[in-house]
Structure 1
Amino acid sequence: MELNLSTLITEQRNEATKHIDQMSTGEILSVMNKEDQTVAIAVKRALPQIERSVDIIFETLKNNGRLFYVGAGTSGRLGVLDASECPPTFRTPPEMVQALIAGGEKAIFTAVEGAEDDPVKGATDLKKAGFKQEDVVVGIAASGRTPYVIGALKYARTLGAKTIGLSCNKESELSQVSHEAIEVVVGPEVLTGSTRLKAATAHKMVLNMLTTATMIKFGKVYENLMVDVNASNYKLKERAKRIVTTVTGVTAEEAEKVLYTANHDVKYAIVMIKAGVSLREAKKLLEKHDGFVRQAIEEALK
């Protein structure tokens, strides 16, 4: 039976904004801001499910699996955004976190009408991407019923792979095909059905948590610093230098010198300076401690 979309919370009218077309600019912004403040609270309610999802993703990546995001429209673009930020932020290989969007790359910039309605294409795209049993897929769909996403997750399940569903509706079809369901119920949108608003904000917050928490568990953060940043341009090289000076207390000039020796690898540079060891020894220490800077330094200073 075809789902009556009007029953979805994300498709219902928001009583607080029924007269938004008659509001002043300030009133429009005020009501939007008030609605946005409810998003973080909705995410908080979903923290137990987000925690279990992080653990699933961490174990998958730890065992050489990969993380795939699958979505359509805004949801797909959010997946692309999060995946594309992982290599520069955490020095991950591009294949570790990937994103598929209904309609392909063109859909990142331009709406591809109807692409989200094909469940077979979702399964086919995931298969073409080389998805395997050892991988994990996060399906992103505010409605929780997007056929493209559902098709991809159903395919993943046939392989015996783990599936995670991220939606903004309770007990959705997406949740039914997911081993872990993250339902961030933000309520009706300011503009009826426009899930690029609160729903998208909620999903961006959750995706931030999934990858950031996972990478912290991998030792890619020391204190609250991005010590695995990929210093591939001027801005990131300057950030790498600031991180090294902040952690070690050396001058910017000294930090730059050691970073050059360490091929701009912040972790190596920090261990070299803090532990007083060579690049070769720093590499050995970090390898022994799975990339955790703190443990590498502590052993060297015993």
Structure 2
Amino acid sequence: MSFIKTTESDSKYNHLEEMSVSELLKNINDEDKSVAFSVEKALPQIEKLTEKVIEKLKAGGRLFYIGAGTSGRLGILDASECPPTFGVPHELIIGLIAGGDSAIRKAVEFAEDSENQGWKDLQQENISEKDIVIGIAASGTTPYVIGALKKCNENNIVTGCITCNEGSPLALTAQFPVAVVVGSEFVTGSSRMKAGTAQKLVLNMISTAAMIQLGRVKGNKMVDMQLSNNKLVDRGVRMIMTELNISEREAQTLLEKHKNVRNAINNFQDE
């Protein structure tokens, strides 16, 4: 199948500057509605990749996300939210972006064009065969990401990807590719929109399913979350109250003692 970069195809809309705010918002929303259906079509691919992630994490490996621009930022976002949400070490899921940490806030010119830098960045993290690397690139043509995955393949490191172009060089490089074809963007080529939304949805699915399979959720609650602010402490108290059918004061006392919702629930009988 020949490769067509649908993320760069012309928008279905024209004369955007002549639209009212109401028209702009409605049309963007109409496009956004299609994204979840595009993700649904890719569920079999997402399942295969997620199962491989779980296998690697259960065996003591780490998950790496690597990308450039919006894609890199989304990977870092997902990685950074797992420790506070699920209580896992920061080193378990690591996000890397072309241009380094400064590129999180401000674009670094031409950083994504190096075919060698991605592998160098992974080596800085002591990447090994125990780990799994997911390359993220809406276009599926980013040299920084493709080069990194090629070196991973050569070094027997499992690779996956999240892209929005079927048959792209990245999809053909990854051992476990996920291609969510969202079509043209509202603003032609602005892949931070539908493509970015699709990537975020897939990342949510992979990391959440993995954390649940790793035992980091009880029932439907984040019992291993970090109690890093008053809102989360209050949520933890309510979880304990509901689970153990005890008063708010008793739940607060348990949480203050054990510093963790899971530990408070598990040790209740010993109190």
CA distance in structure 2 between the aligned counterparts of 1:155 and 1:254, rounded to whole angstroms: 54
Equivalence map 1:245-264=2 (5 Å): 245-262=241-258, 264=259
CA distance in structure 2 between the aligned counterparts of 1:233 and 1:25, rounded to whole angstroms: 37
Q: Find the structure with the greater CA-based Rg.
A: 1
2:213 is matched with: 217
Q: Does 1:141 align with 2:137?
A: yes
Per-residue deviation, 1:131: 0.8
2:128 is matched with: 132
Q: Does 1:151 align with 2:135?
A: no
1:277 is matched with: 270
CA distance in structure 2 between the aligned counterparts of 1:136 and 1:162, rounded to whole angstroms: 5
Per-residue deviation, 1:19: 2.7
1:16-52 deviations in Å (ceiling 9; x for gaps): x113221111011000000000000000011111111
2:172 is matched with: 176
AA of the residue aligned to 2:151 = Y
CA distance in structure 2 between the aligned counterparts of 1:154 and 1:250, rounded to whole angstroms: 55
1:14 is matched with: 11
SS at match of 2:270: coil
CA distance in structure 2 between the aligned counterparts of 1:210 and 1:151, rounded to whole angstroms: 23
1:142-199 deviations in Å (ceiling 9; x for gaps): 0001000011111111210110011000111111111111000000000000000000
SS at match of 1:68: strand
AA of the residue aligned to 1:60 = K
AA of the residue aligned to 2:7 = T
Alignment partner of 2:73 out of 65, 70, 77: 77
1:297 is matched with: none
Provide the TM-score with structure 1 as the length reference.
0.87
Query: Is there any run of 5+ residues in structure 1 with no aligned partner, and where?
Result: 279-302
1:203 is matched with: 199
AA of the residue aligned to 2:112 = E
Q: Does 1:62 align with 2:58?
A: yes
**Consecutive aligned runs of 4 or more in structure 1 exceeding 4 Å deviation:** none
CA distance in structure 1 between the aligned counterparts of 2:119 and 2:257, rounded to whole angstroms: 46
Identity %: 47
Query: How many residues end up aligned between the 2 structures?
Result: 270
CA distance in structure 2 between the aligned counterparts of 1:141 and 1:72, rounded to whole angstroms: 7
Provide the TM-score with structure 2 as the length reference.
0.97
Larger relative CO (CA 8 A, sep 6+): 1 or 2? Answer: 2
Alignment partner of 1:96 out of 70, 92, 97: 92
RMSD of aligned Cα (Å): 1.4
Per-residue deviation, 1:63: 0.6
Q: Does 1:52 align with 2:48?
A: yes
SS at match of 1:119: coil
CA distance in structure 2 between the aligned counterparts of 1:271 and 1:114, rounded to whole angstroms: 52
CA distance in structure 2 between the aligned counterparts of 1:269 and 1:190, rounded to whole angstroms: 49
SS at match of 1:165: strand
CA distance in structure 2 between the aligned counterparts of 1:255 and 1:61, rounded to whole angstroms: 32
Equivalence map 1:159-174=2 (5 Å): 159-174=155-170
Per-residue deviation, 1:261: 2.1
CA distance in structure 1 between the aligned counterparts of 2:42 and 2:262, rounded to whole angstroms: 33
SS at match of 2:267: helix
AA of the residue aligned to 1:110 = K
Alignment partner of 2:237 out of 230, 236, 241: 241
